[in-house]
Amino acid sequence: MKKYIVRLNEEERTQLHELIRQGKAAAYKIRHAHILLKADADGPNWTDEKIAEALGCHVKGIPAIRERFVMEGLGAAVGRKPLKHPPREKILDGRKEAHLIALSCGKPPEGFGRWSLRLLADKMVELEIVEAISHETVRQGLKKTKSSPI
């Protein structure tokens, strides 16, 4: 039994048909529009299995699109679900970035003419500013602030 029933009004149907007709939106948006049109209780009212078979998508994703339409509206159902949290926490926050910049502007270690990205990364770990950091993260942090170890 379907928990969330999709009922499109004429304006929503028109918007979805226009989105599909133009074909300039992202593929997932067009697919979501097709799913909503086929799931419309006042229209074709297809089952999730029939929609998945016709559109070549997985059955498990269709109830989520139905739910987003009922709970949040057309825009949320056609678009992607936003991430609540970034995949990983940032290694360099403002305070750690400031330490990195100050370190890169300072004198390089004995025996070196200038700071390298790997030297900066090693020094940040040695000073216990971060637990671990790659030279690439150091590069991105310095690039963002337009600083340079050279």
**How does pLDDT run across 13-61, given as a tens digit for each residue?**
999 999 999 999 999 999 999 999 999 999 999 999 999 999 999 999 9
Q: Helix, strand or coil for residue 37?
A: helix
Same domain membership, residue 14 and residue 74: yes
Q: Is residue 85 part of a domain?
A: no
As a whole number of angstroms, the distance between CA 8 and CA 132 comes to 52
Note the pLDDT of residue 148: 54
Q: Which residue has the higher pLDDT, 149 or 74?
A: 74
* Strand, helix or coil for residue 101: helix
In a domain, 1, yes or no: no
Instruction: Please state, rounded to an integer, the average pLDDT across all residues of the chain.
Output: 92
Burial 40-68 (b: 16+ CB within 10 A, else e): beeeeebebeebbeebebeeebbeebbeb
Q: Is residue 3 domain-resident?
A: no
- Our count of domains for the chain comes to 2
pLDDT bracket for residue 96 (50, 70, 90): very high
Q: Output the pLDDT for position 1.
A: 65
pLDDT for position 21: 96
In a domain, 98, yes or no: yes
82 CB-near residues (< 8 Å, 6+ apart): none
Same domain, 73 and 101: no
pTM for this entry: 0.62
Alpha carbons 140 and 146: distance in angstroms, whole number: 10
15 and 63 in one domain?
Answer: yes
Rounded to 5 degrees, φ, ψ at 115 are -75, 135
Domain assignment of residue 139, given as a range: 94-143
What pLDDT, on the 0 to 100 scale, is given for residue 140?
93
Domain membership flag for residue 27: yes
Where would I find the beta strands (DSSP E) of 36-146? none
Which range among 19-23, 32-36, 76-80, 87-91 shows the weakest confidence by mean pLDDT? 87-91
Are residues 14 and 71 located together in one domain of the fold? yes
pLDDT tops 60 at residue 103: yes
The answer on 72 and 103 residing in a single domain is: no
Task: Give CA–CA dist 17/126, Å, rounded.
Answer: 59
98 and 138 together in one domain:
yes
